[in-house]
Amino acid sequence: MIVPRLGLPLAILYLDSGYSSFFRWMKILASGTIKALFERHFPSKIVLELGIENKGDMKYLLDIVEPDIAILTNIETSFTDSSSGLEEIFEEFKYLAKRIKKNSKLILNIDDNRVKNLKKFTSAKIITYGFLEGADARILNLETDAEGQEFDFNFKSNTERVKIKKYGKHFVYAWTAAKIIKNIL
C-alpha cells in the first residue's frame, strides 16, 4: 500500500493526508511537488517520529532522512499491531543504531532492556536516560498526586525538581528526552 509510505514526506512538507479521497490526494501530491521543487524555506531543525511496523521500514525512512539525533524510548507490545514481533522491531531499531553517523547522538532509555542493548551496535555518541542507576540523565523520586507527577531530573551534575500535569511514566520519559535535547543543542 502506498499511503503509509507517504507519511514521512508529508510531515517534512507540512502536508495533510488525503485519507481515502482520490481528489484530495491529487491536490496534495501537486502541492507537495510544487513545495519540494520551488520552496526553500524549510526549517533548519525538524522533529520527526519514524514509525515502523515491518521489516524494511527503517531502511526506507533512513533513505529519506539522516538524523543527527535519535531518541529510542521503548520496544514494547504497542508495536505488535503489525504482523511483526518485538524481535523484528528490535532488528529495525538495530538498523538505525548501525546506520546513524558517528558524530550523531543516540539517546537511549536504559529502563527498556531491548533499547539499552542497542548501544552495542552503534558508533554514535550515546546518552542514556531513565530511572536506573547509571543513566546519564536520571529520573529520581517520582511522586504522583491529583495535579500530575513530580520528580527530580539529574543531568550533567545538575538536579532540578520537575512537575508535569500528566500521568504515566511515558510522559516522564518524553519530558526527559525533550529536556536532554534542549540541553545538548
pLDDT digits 0-9 by tens, 106-138: 999 999 999 999 999 999 999 999 999 999 999
The C-alpha cell 528490535 sits at 90
For 1-37, the pLDDT digits (tens) are: 344 467 778 887 888 888 888 888 889 889 888 888 8
Q: Is pLDDT above 90 for 41?
A: no
Judge whether 160 and 151 are in contact, CB under 8 Å: no
Total number of domains in the chain:
2
| Same-domain check for residues 10 and 91 | no
| Same-domain check for residues 142 and 58 | yes
Mean pLDDT over 73-101 rounds to 81
Q: Which three cell numbers stand for residue 84?
A: 511483526
Separation of alpha carbons 22 and 6, rounded Å: 14
The CATH number that applies at residue 59 is: 3.40.1190.10
The C-alpha cell 537511549 sits at 108
Please, which pLDDT band fits residue 83 given cuts at 50, 70 and 90?
low
| Same-domain check for residues 85 and 159 | yes
The C-alpha cell 531518541 sits at 71
| Same-domain check for residues 38 and 53 | no
The boundaries of the domain holding residue 169 are 48-184
CB atoms within 10 A of CB 103: 9
| Same-domain check for residues 79 and 129 | yes
β-sheet bridge partners, residue 171: none
| Same-domain check for residues 32 and 65 | no
| Same-domain check for residues 1 and 33 | yes
Q: Is pLDDT above 90 for 175?
A: yes
| Sign (positive or negative) of CA dihedral 156, 158, 162, 168 | positive
Q: Is pLDDT above 70 for 85?
A: yes
Q: Is pLDDT above 60 for 163?
A: yes
9: three-class secondary structure by DSSP: helix
- Residue finishing a domain among 42, 57, 73: 42
130 by Cβ neighbours in 10 Å (0-12 / 13-18 / 19+) ranks as buried
Mean pLDDT over 141-155 rounds to 96
| Same-domain check for residues 32 and 62 | no
Separation of alpha carbons 93 and 75, rounded Å: 9
Nearest by Cα to 109 from 162, 180, 50: 180
| Same-domain check for residues 25 and 99 | no
